[in-house]
Chains A and B, each alone.
Chain A
Amino acid sequence: MSLETVNPHTGKLIKSFDEYSSEQVKEIIDKSQLSFYKWKETDFALRKKLMLNVANILRKDKRKYSELMTIEMGKPITQAEAEVEKCACVCEYYADNAEAILSKEIIDTDASESFVRFDPLGVILAVMPWNFPFWQVFRFAAPAIMAGNIGLLKHASNVPQCALAIQEVFQKADFPEYTFSTLLIGSSNVNEVISNNIVKAVTLTGSDYAGRKVAEQCGKMLKKSVMELGGSDPFIVLKDADIDLAVSTAVTARLINNGQSCIAAKRFIVEEVIYDKFTQKFVAKMEKTKIGDPMNKDTELGPLARKDLLLELDEQVKRSVKLGARILTGCYQLEREGYYYAPSIIANVTKGMPAYDEELFGPIASLILAKDENDAIRIANDTLFGLGSSLWTKDRAKAKKLAEKIEAGSVFINGLVKSDPRLPFGGIKLSGYGRELSHYGIKEFVNIKTVWVK
């Protein structure tokens, strides 16, 4: 099997790569282990210097890396540039904070001295998706490597050039060889990598389906894993919300990354009293979206990343409509080259429809009417997922109380759900376990070691 770059704007094959053989993969893993023995002995000053080099390289070559993402998976170029900037920020955050976060923690006991130290685990495998092809890798790599670990990347098969570019960034930043390596392999070879005794832990960002497969293998091998999986995030608009602000954010929340984000708002749950007003404004704003070549600076919505995604999305919508959902705008493939789908809203969405039960990975908002505040929370929690959520109301005290009732890894009040290096990120239920980012994230891949001195 080969790994291919297909430009979703044109549907044309750009480049293909042969998968690495088992021997090549084994050699990289062996060399990664040798690299670990040296890397774990380095001090934080050196790690910081090199990680800041990474941030500088990312910024210096921002245009190059942004174009690569846009060519491989179609995100609008301005969003790709913002993604590279965010990667530089996460490198700086951990360059500046890793030493303090991982400094030894003294605890008073019956010992003359007792403390906790945080030692690296070794070689960590990251299985990453294509939708944020740089960010999702760097949010793993920056903390893991600052903690003294070694990174191995199995990236999604449609972004091989991004995968190789990230490896190149670490090389250019003067990291020792095999501190971070890309494995060009398909999903069928992941179990073999997990089974290698050198690999000590695995992090996966992707679907609950892939998560189960990887977690199962990690379970068999008794290896630590972190899972950041899918979401069907609720966007809850209560009757006392600032409707204009909510509408404007709703459009961004649904269309960001061409609608292909695990933390995109997908179910728009609106209280009955303001439902018509919100809907009217939401449809009007959605219809003003600028669709086009993702390389253009003013494009707001580009193509879906692959043809199969386009066809599945279209089918999910058709089935939902057949079961009673009502099209308010869009809901069709655009008649043009590439994998374009119109910005869309469907209403009357109820349980049993794909639009309610499944994750719609594209620019489609599902509108759901809630009788009142309690009903809104009930609907928000009526999902197998629990990643992000947002709540819109002018009553901050009420919002903070309701935040307790929402089953999700994060609740954003009057704001867009987003990740931030300073805050933990992750989900519950089928959205996974473990946390990335912040001081919680860097401690996922360390040995929390107790030292007790008589």
Chain B
Amino acid sequence: MSNFIVTKDTEIEDLVRELPDSVVYLMEKGIRCLRCGEPIWGSIESAAKEKGFNSQEIETFIKDLNQMLKN
């Protein structure tokens, strides 16, 4: 847990396990991390790109998520 750092390549499966609150944060951005009780497959970057976010916006997500991890 303590060594976990969010990057754009972090799998959603790992993200929601290490930082469950990320599902609410990403839902607010329009990205649903869970379907039918399972984390969606793929990385944060691929999930965000599917929803039309650009690299800069994805960087902001990563920064926010890492901040949430620290809190």
Q: Contact residues of A with B, CB < 8 Å?
A: 1, 4, 129-131, 156-158, 186-188, 190, 206-210, 213, 229-230, 260, 262, 305-312, 315, 358-359, 361
Contacts and interface: CB of A to CB of B under 8 A. Distances in A.
Given A129-B36, A208-B36, A209-B40, A312 B24 contact: yes
Interface string B35-65: 1111111100000000000000000000000
A311 B42 CA distance: 21
B6 interface: no
A358 to B, nearest CB: 8
A361 B34 contact: yes
Nearest to A158: B17
B11 A188 contact: yes
Interface of B: 11, 13-14, 16-17, 20-24, 27, 32-42
Q: Which of A213, A306, A359 has the most CB of B within 10 A?
A: A306
A69 B14 CA distance: 22
A312 B27 contact: yes
Q: What secondary structure prevails in chain A residues at the interface with B?
A: loop
B20 A187 contact: no
Contacts of B16: 306, 308
8 contacts: A1-B11, A131-B37, A186-B11, A190-B41, A229-B36, A308-B17, A308-B33, A361-B34
Nearest to A6: B17
Q: Which of A130, A208, A210, A308 has the most CB of B within 10 A?
A: A308
Contacts of B27: 312, 315
A355 to B, nearest CB: 14
B23 A311 contact: yes
Contacts of B23: 308, 311-312, 315
Given A207-B37, A209-B41, 13 more contacts: A129-B37, A130-B38, A131-B37, A188-B13, A209-B36, A210-B36, A210-B38, A213-B41, A308-B34, A309-B37, A311-B21, A311-B24, A358-B32
A188 B41 contact: yes
Contacts of B20: 306-308, 310-311
B38 A186 contact: no
Contacts of B42: 188, 213
Nearest to A431: B36
B6 to A, nearest CB: 14
Contacts, number: 87
Contacts of B41: 187-188, 190, 209-210, 213
Given A1-B11, A186-B13, A187-B13, A130 B24 contact: no
A187 B36 contact: no
B24 A210 contact: no
A4 B14 CA distance: 11
Contacts of A207: 35-38, 40
Contacts of B21: 311
Contacts of A130: 37-38
Contacts of B17: 4, 157-158, 306, 308
Contacts of B38: 129-130, 156, 206-207, 209-210
A157 B37 CA distance: 12
Contacts of B37: 129-131, 207, 260, 305, 309, 361
A305 B33 CA distance: 16
A114 to B, nearest CB: 44
Given A187-B41, A210-B41, A309 B34 contact: yes
Contacts of A4: 17
B58 to A, nearest CB: 18
Contacts of A309: 34, 37
A213 B46 CA distance: 12
Nearest to B34: A312
B33 to A, nearest CB: 7
A138 B3 CA distance: 37
Nearest to A129: B38
A208 B11 contact: no
Contacts of A187: 11, 13, 39, 41
Contacts of B39: 187, 308
CB-based closest 8 A-B pairs: A207-B35, A207-B36, A230-B36, A307-B20, A308-B20, A308-B16, A209-B35, A187-B41
A262 B37 CA distance: 9
Contacts of A186: 11, 13-14
Q: Which of A158, A188, A312 has the most CB of B within 10 A?
A: A312
Nearest to A208: B35
B22 to A, nearest CB: 8
A208 B11 CA distance: 18
